[in-house]
């Protein structure tokens, strides 16, 4: 989006391009709080790029800016992902600090929301999936963005996105003193997590919260929280709970609304454990939006659905092969729990298949037929909820009954389990006899 030329901009632009003849000015892309962005041709590489140019700086201020630019370029080079904007170089043109980067032809997400209002679910999910995968790639490199917001997400005409501006990123691999210290609040208040507005050290789950705030705005067409001052907005992040009805009232599917609200939990431990886990959830929901051909077998009539906590086998599963022992997939990252449950089930006549993670379970399910899944909620990587979301998006596996288990049976987790289509929720430490009763109620007694 172009900027109307002004005297200050004209002087700065002329000074900058006169100092660096390598770059040929093509136009102005915009103006931010920290300077101007120009479109230019890199004559040496014969490539169109974008250049961020800050105002004149001297002495300590200039050195600080250059350290930040150097850090941003260094972090960017550690992230290899098609949805992360590439940075090229940084330096000084006279007394003007500058940063060169990939030119992204498109509009920032804030502009898209302003023009379109609430973005349709299918388009929103495509954007959110790409955004979350890009953030997951940064996290895998040990980098927390800390300033995710619509203005830092560019949307190309093709629908592909690019994440910009790692200038405030936190490098979790560093042990030397940082420019930004603990206790100093950084970021944009409308998208900051509760722990971030308090100036506490943040981790990947703060970026998950910011993605939730972006998703809310994308789907509702308005910012989640507004206020006249930083403190008024910060207090809402700390104290105000977002209503799922705000999203569902605008036609957002129930499961997507629940996913967004989980990102926005006040306590980091109640959110998705990682951006990778959130991306898996968005991808599963995105697949559900895709047009499907006619089903091979008709869906069960509503009357056949049992509305109790535990469903009978006949209401969920087709009859198995005579003489075949029912197979239970036991998914838990704790080896002791897996072994204990599998041993107990085998002694009771069932076949039990252990799996140490959500990722492993999804891979195993591509080749292994199972009749019931017993899965822990809190696991590293793809957790129990997201594993089941992916499972439910696969038509050939969507009817497999699921029993969740957790040592933290909080009300919101139990409700969320029901929303994902779980049969029941078991509390750890498991009462093995009670667990066996629920498994038998679903699968029947082994022959």
Per the structure block, which two tokens stand in for 290? 């895709």
**Nearest residue to 150 via CA among 160, 138, 134, 164:** 164
Q: Is residue 317 a contact partner of residue 401, using CB atoms and an 8 Å limit?
A: yes
Q: Judge whether 270 counts as a catalytic residue.
A: no
- The crossing angle, in degrees rounded to 10, of helices 275-289 and 254-263 is 170
Q: What is the dihedral of CA 188, 194, 197, 203, to 10 degrees?
A: -80
Instruction: Check 108, 147, 371, 376 and give the catalytic one.
Output: 147
Pick from 447, 441, 437, 445: nearest CA to 306: 441
What is the rounded distance in angstroms from the CA atom of residue 225 to the CA atom of residue 232? 9
Question: Are residues 377 and 424 in contact, defined by beta-carbon separation less than 8 angstroms?
Answer: no
Are 9 and 19 within 8 A, CB to CB? no
Q: What is the Cα 148 distance to its own chain's centre?
A: 11
CA–CA gap between residue 421 and residue 330 (Å, rounded): 17
SS3 letters for 71-130? HHHHHHHHCCCCCECCEEEEEEECCEEEEEEECCCCEEHHHHHHHHCCCCHHHHHHHHHH
Q: 223, 227, 202: which is closest to 214 by C-alpha?
A: 223
Closest by CA to 100, choosing from 86, 89, 113, 115, is 89
| Main-chain phi, psi angles of 26, to 5 degrees | -115, -20
- Which residue do the tokens 């090229």 mark? 88
User: What angle, 0 to 180 degrees and rounded to 10, lies between the N-to-C axes of helices 275-289 and 384-392?
Assistant: 20
CA distance 227 to 233: 5
Contacts of 215 (CB under 8 A, 6+ apart): 124, 128, 260, 263
CB atoms within 10 A of CB 123: 15
CB 154 within 8 A of CB 107: yes
Catalytic residue annotation: 147
């Amino acid at each position: 989006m172009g900027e109307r030329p002004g005297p200050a901009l004209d002087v700065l632009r002329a000074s900058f391009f006169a100092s660096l003849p390598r770059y040929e000015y093509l136009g102005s892309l915009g103006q931010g709080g920290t300077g101007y962005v120009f479109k230019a041709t890199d004559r040496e590489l014969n490539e169109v790029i974008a250049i961020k140019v800050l105002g004149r700086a001297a002495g300590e201020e200039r050195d600080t800016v250059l350290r930040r630019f150097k850090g941003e370029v260094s972090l960017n080079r550690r992230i290899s992902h098609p949805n992360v904007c590439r940075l090229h170089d940084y330096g000084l043109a006279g007394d003007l600090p500058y940063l060169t980067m990939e030119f992204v032809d498109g509009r920032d997400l804030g502009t898209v929301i302003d023009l379109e209002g609430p973005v349709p679910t299918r388009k929103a999910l495509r954007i959110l999936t790409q955004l979350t995968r890009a953030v997951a790639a940064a996290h895998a490199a040990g980098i927390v963005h800390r300033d995710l917001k619509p203005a830092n997400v560019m949307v190309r005409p093709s629908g592909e996105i690019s994440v910009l501006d790692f200038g405030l990123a936190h490098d979790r691999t560093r042990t030397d003193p940082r420019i930004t210290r603990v206790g100093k609040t950084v970021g944009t208040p409308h998208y900051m997590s509760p722990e971030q507005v308090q100036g506490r050290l943040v981790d990947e789950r703060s970026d998950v919260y910011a993605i939730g705030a972006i998703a809310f705005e994308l789907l509702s067409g308005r910012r989640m929280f507004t206020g006249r001052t930083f403190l008024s907005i910060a207090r809402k992040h700390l104290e105000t709970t977002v209503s799922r009805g705000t999203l569902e009232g605008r036609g957002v599917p129930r499961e997507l609304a629940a996913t967004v609200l989980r990102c926005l939990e006040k306590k980091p431990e109640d959110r998705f454990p990682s951006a990778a886990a959130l991306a898996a959830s968005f991808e599963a929901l995105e697949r559900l939006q895709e047009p499907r051909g006619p089903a091979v077998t008709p869906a069960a009539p509503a009357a056949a659905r049992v509305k109790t906590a535990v469903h009978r086998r006949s209401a969920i599963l087709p009859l198995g092969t005579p003489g075949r022992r029912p197979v239970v997939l036991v998914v838990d990252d704790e080896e002791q729990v897996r072994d204990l449950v599998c041993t107990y089930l085998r002694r009771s006549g069932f076949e039990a298949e252990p799996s140490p993670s959500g990722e492993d379970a999804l891979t195993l399910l591509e080749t292994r037929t199972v009749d019931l899944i017993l899965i822990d909620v809190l696991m590293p990587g793809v957790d129990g909820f997201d594993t089941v979301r992916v499972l439910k998006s696969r038509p050939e596996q969507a009817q497999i009954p699921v029993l969740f288990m957790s040592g933290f049976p909080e009300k919101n987790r139990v409700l969320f389990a029901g929303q994902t289509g779980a049969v029941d929720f078991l509390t750890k430490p498991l009462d093995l006899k009670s667990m066996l009763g629920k498994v038998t109620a679903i699968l029947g007694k082994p022959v």
